[in-house]
Amino acid sequence: MDWQDILFKFVGGLGIFLFGIKYMSDGLQKTAGDKMRNLLATYTSNPIKGIIVGIVVTILIQTSTGTTVMAIGLVNAGLMTLRQVIGVILGANIGTTMTAFIVGIKIEKYSLPIIAVGAICLFFISKKKVQYIGQIIFGFGMLFLGLSTMGGGLKPLQGLPVFTDFIIQVSEVPVLGVLVGTVFTMIVQSSSATIGILQTIADEGMITLQGALPVLFGDNIGTTITAVLAAIGASVAAKRAALVHVIFNVAGTILFTLALPIVHRAVLWIGEDVNIRMQIAYAHGMFNVTNTLIFIPLIPVLAWIASKVIRGKMTEIEFKPKFLDARLLATPAVALGQAQNEIIRMGTYAREILNDASDYFFNKDDKVANLALQKEQLVNELERKITEYMVKISQSGLPEGESTKASTLMHTINDIERIGDHAENIVELSELRISNKVEFSAEAENELREMLKLADHTVERAIYALEHSDKEAAADVLVCESELDRMEESFRKSHIARLNQGQCSGTSGAIYLDILSNLERVGDHSKNIAQFILQEDQH
């Protein structure tokens, strides 16, 4: 037996298979528009919607792990609640069965022509949309080529007594099959890949459906390890979400392993006339759909268990307006007050992004950077929703005094959003600094620390002035803004002097000057808010 040939074909086939899934997934994302995170954060207001979004996103990105990790990132930032994320996790488990169904279609002999069609679309047609479709087709063909290569490599194993004895043992002891599936998926880090391998082995006649089912159930436990790793060091909410993922898959595996004879008969009955690869896909679908139906009414219980096991306070930020209520539009003055509350909330987040940007620059913690970027998405979303609400208030008709206030608030929305944008720019510049290992002199760092502190104070006073219509605070903002302008000019000169003396590199100089410029713009937008407050007072 040529062990080298077996190993090379298996490892190479697995590589081609994983590449096929990834490449097809990238093409699907580009075709659908890369808005998965927004879809997750925006359309998951209740668990049923969460399940549907989880299914759709997972089908589009072809990995339940990716969806779950993305959802955990959002819950970590407080942009989704634990109950919302449970719905997404349940949906992701259903969505991931799509790969098994694709593998169930036996078209390996057509894999090369499929790759050729994909290549033609990719390399001979200049239209972007066609290229993305070509990418999907190319990945689809690669997926089957990988399966075919793996199958060819594993075929000689069926004549090996050690292997056949092990497969018999797995068939007779379901717990051993579950363990094999769990460990293998933990190693490969992709349940789609391990289920694809299982379908290929079964298709080669190396394992029966009865023996394959426990391994399949174990694959579902193994896929939770990535979510657990993503939650390490994350917020309490993220850890709870990862725990729910584990509970869901472990409970489902225990249930289906205990009911193995019934599951086996059900799969044979549903998939009577199909190949064993498709029968495994049916079993995978049955596992996740049944599990989801069982757990939908238990979502509050899952959230309660996760809260009891993982203790700690959890701050949840709703990724939607908190104060805007369409019913209040009938009373425009009240609606205007609620809009102001939402604008203040938006301003608070914009200030937090600036603080997170500062924290990231000095402490280089990626989690803080992710948090800042997610809050920035929230600020953008609030800007859109508040503007729509304010337009409706204006259409309802306001008394002259209220109308002036509404006009002031409308102007401030854009300035707050721009403060968030400049803070995001600082996060990106910090990322550039960290990835390129750019060092700053102690003097430059101190200057940035000083200016960041003043910029934060300026934003804080501007938001306070807006909330309380406080003209003293607004006047304070104008003083701070002038000081920020002076600092920017002074620090720019001193940094250019350091560059000329060779104390700093060109890259550090460019990053430093860009941060100064962004902070100066933060001051300008704070000044705009303050001036609107002062003008309103004059009216």
In a domain, 314, yes or no: no
Q: Are 286 and 414 within one domain?
A: no
Asked if 361 contacts 448 with a C-beta cutoff of 8 angstroms, the reply is yes
What residue ranges in 433-520 does DSSP mark as E strands? none
Domain containing 437 equals: 326-538
Both 383 and 251 in one domain: the answer is no
Q: Model confidence over 186-206: pLDDT tens digits?
A: 877 677 778 888 888 888 888
Question: In which element (H, E) is residue 198 found?
Answer: helix 191-203
Structure tokens at 141: 């063909």
Q: Is residue 466 assigned to a domain?
A: yes
Close Cβ partners of 179 (under 8 Å, ≥ 6 residues apart): 218
CB atoms within 10 A of CB 323: 17
Same domain, 145 and 181: yes
Do residues 285 and 362 share a domain?
Answer: no
What does the alpha-carbon distance between residue 144 and residue 149 come to, in Å, rounded to a whole number?
9
- Quickly list H helices, 33-63: 36-42, 47-61
Tens digits of residue pLDDT in 119-130: 999 999 888 889
- In the prediction, which pLDDT does 539 show? 47
Report the CATH number at residue 462.
Answer: 1.20.58.220
Q: Confirm whether 455 is domain-assigned.
A: yes
Give the residue from 65, 13, 56 showing the smallest Cα distance to 35. 56
Which two structure tokens, joined as six digits, stand for 421? 């944008």
- Could you give the number of structural domains in the chain? 2
Residues 290-348: tens digit of each pLDDT: 999 998 888 888 888 888 888 765 545 556 777 888 888 888 888 888 899 999 999 99
Residue 321 in any domain: the answer is no
**Cα–Cα distance between 100 and 143 in angstroms, integer?**
11
Please tell me whether residues 300 and 331 are part of one structural domain: no
90 in the same domain as 62: yes
Residue pLDDT, tens place only, 37-88: 566 656 556 777 888 888 887 777 666 666 766 676 666 655 667 777 788 8
Same domain, 396 and 431: yes
Verify that 271 and 331 share a domain, yes or no: no
Tell me the pLDDT tens digit for each residue of 504-521: 777 787 888 999 999 999
Q: Is residue 178 part of a domain?
A: yes
